[in-house]
Amino acid sequence: MAQITKDMIISDIIAVDADVIPILMEAGMHCIGCPSAQGESLADAAMVHGMDADALTAKINEFLAAK
């Protein structure tokens, strides 16, 4: 089972499983293909968007575990 961490770069998370894109989009991270996604960690993006990185990480890992 794949798992992600909040320290992973967003593009690396998408490489693990592109099916997480809707979760990121729902969280307000609409810039999936922008340069920020190539160098910004999930924790950094969560901070910029005013959300809890741990909660988002848990949501993505729950999704991956259910696959």
Report pLDDT digits (tens) over 18-41: 999 999 999 988 877 777 778 899
Cβ-count burial 29-48 (b if 16+ within 10 Å, e if not)? bebeeeebbeebbbbbbbee
- What's the pLDDT tens digit per position in 38-60? 889 999 999 988 999 999 999 99
Looking up tokens 């901070």, which residue turns up?
47
Q: What is the pTM of this model?
A: 0.90
Burial of 13 (0-12, 13-18, 19+ CB in 10 A): buried
Phi-psi category of residue 51: left, alpha or beta, with phi > 0 → left and psi -120 to 50 → alpha: beta
